[in-house]
Amino acid sequence: MGGTPTAFSLHQQAARKANQPLDLAEVCHRFGLGGVQTRVPIEPEAATALRQRLEKWEMYLVGDARPPRDASEVPAFEKVVEASKAAGATVLHAALTGRRYEVFDTLEAFKKHFEQCQKAVALAEPVLRRHQMKLAVENHKDWRFAEHVAWLKRLSSEWVGVCVDVGNNISLCEDPVELAEAYAPYAFDCHLKDMAVDEYPEGFLLSEVVLGQGIVDLRKVAGILRQANPKIQFGLEMITRDPLKVPVLGQKYWATFDDSYSPLPGRDLARTLAMVRARRSKLPMVSQLSFDQQVQAEAESTRQCAAYARERLEL
């Protein structure tokens, strides 16, 4: 199991406060992780140096990339692909939007952005094909898996697939095991996390917790993805933060859902709310800690997650 940038967001904040750059690859190595997801430097010497360090540490690399929004950005995207390949990456990660129920006020705004995302990936695909680089587009609390899979089928490219975040789509009333089964044929990469839930008046709270302490059946999810792609890479995304509010009982939450274009069946909502009520627990409130204590909590959670992954998930 490797590490993702958001798993070390507090370490990055601490480095910025000290006016020191954070070497994410070195941090992941220090925590005993087997790989890193990070933005690769464009300069050839820096990319080569990163590759040499990762090979020495026997770590894999997932590069971070943003697909071109229009034709003018294609050359810059190609440079990122070339640098990432030189550094040893075989997969690039992309998250294309935020939480749909927070970002968009109307279905039309959501549809327009979804079309822009599809255009961006279509522009990226010939570059990916030319360099034989895979792009894993994360389910980032944006699309329900049926929408995402339908898009991948339309695109029909062996170079574009999914970074399967096993916890994100709980916010869209989807079950992690069903999500893994749907995404498995397209899974290039995985953001591994466990989630806990609690109730609040407008819906439910959702929080990352140490692996094995939440509601996600991690062994089953990991097994489904591994069976479909034995080479899939797992990156820890244990984010140390206060719980997120998922206002499923609020009007804005439903603004981007439509029975004909983007349905969210009532049975999925009912199942999710029943699950929350049955499995609710006390969630961590990180903001109550001092900043130094938050950084320490992030480090301790990472150590516990790494131990669980080794001992229980064979990662």
pLDDT digits (tens, 9 = 90+) for 37-53: 999 999 999 999 999 99
**What confidence score (pLDDT) does residue 82 get?**
98
Q: pLDDT class for 234, splitting at 50, 70, 90?
A: very high
- φ, ψ at 162 (rounded to 5°): -125, 140
91 with 136: CB under 8 angstroms? Answer: yes
Residues 6+ apart with CB under 8 A from 181: 224
**What confidence score (pLDDT) does residue 53 get?**
98
Q: pLDDT class for 169, splitting at 50, 70, 90?
A: very high
Stated pTM of the model: 0.97
- φ, ψ at 67 (rounded to 5°): -60, 155
Amino acid at 223: G
Give the pLDDT mean for 169-190.
98
Instruction: Please give the CATH architecture assigned to the domain spanning 2-194+214-242+286-312.
Output: Alpha-Beta Barrel (3.20)
pLDDT digits (tens, 9 = 90+) for 64-92: 999 999 999 999 999 999 999 999 999 99
Calculate what percentage of the chain has a pLDDT beyond 90.
100
Amino acid at 302: T
